[in-house]
Amino acid sequence: MLRLILTTVWLLLPAYTPNNFAVIFGGGTPIDLGRKFIDGKRILGDGKTIRGFIFGVLGGLFVAHIQLVIERFANLSFFSSLEYHTFLVLSFSLSFGALFGDSFGSFIKRRFGVERGASFPLLDQLSFIVFALLFASRINDFWKLYSNEVIITGFILTPLLHLATNFIAYRLGIKKVPW
Ligand code: CTP
Ligand code: MG
């Protein structure tokens, strides 16, 4: 059980981390260039920026490479069992997919009239992981690493991890609300 949870987190880390890099390095020109959709509302909103997207993808790739190095030292065989080219395509798919899903989530939020930054439970926590896995699953070797068990665990674990990290951030005084 614990092993499955740790394996799942490890395999999903290149999808979990891009948004954190976007938060840190984001800002500037929004992806939608300030334009509105046919409903008169912003396409994505000011929370999705070009810089955040690019640095987010690079951040995810960076984390995946750190993991590759850790695996070599710790004698683990997940990402390091792949050919380097496959590993690159996989980690790019996971981090690009995560940010694509994050933007897709914002698109849906805007259509429902949910303001930038306001929460939309489950969509906020799951859209990034759905697209990360969707993109990554195009790679043949994906199914060797990501079993159905890992994917199901990921879907259950991701919203719970969000709640837990937000609660810790709240207790540490980083966030004003515990959700
Ligand atoms: N961010 C960014 N570019 C991205 C994604 C995120 O610059 N592609 C930065 C923005 O400063 C954003 C912050 O990270 O405000 C937090 O990201 P997120 O919670 O995804 O955006 P929200 O501001 O909550 O906007 P939305 O309601 O559209 O999700
Ligand atoms: Mg948000």
Q: Which atom of ligand 1 is nearest to the CA of 52?
A: 3
Kindly tell me if the per-residue pLDDT of 28 is higher than 90.
yes
Quick one: pLDDT band at residue 51, thresholds 50, 70, 90?
A: very high
Residue of the CA atom closest to atom 28 of ligand 1: 106
Residue written as token pair 């799942």: 8
Residue of the CA atom closest to atom 13 of ligand 1: 23
**45 CA distance to ligand 1 middle (Å):** 9
pLDDT tens column, 118-152 = 999 999 999 999 999 999 999 999 999 999 999 99
Query: How far apart, in whole angstroms, are the C-alpha atoms of residue 19 and residue 122?
Result: 16
Least confident window among 49-58, 61-70, 163-172: 163-172
Instruction: Quote the mean pLDDT of the chain.
Output: 95
What single-letter amino acid sits at 39?
A: D
Residue written as token pair 């969000």: 162
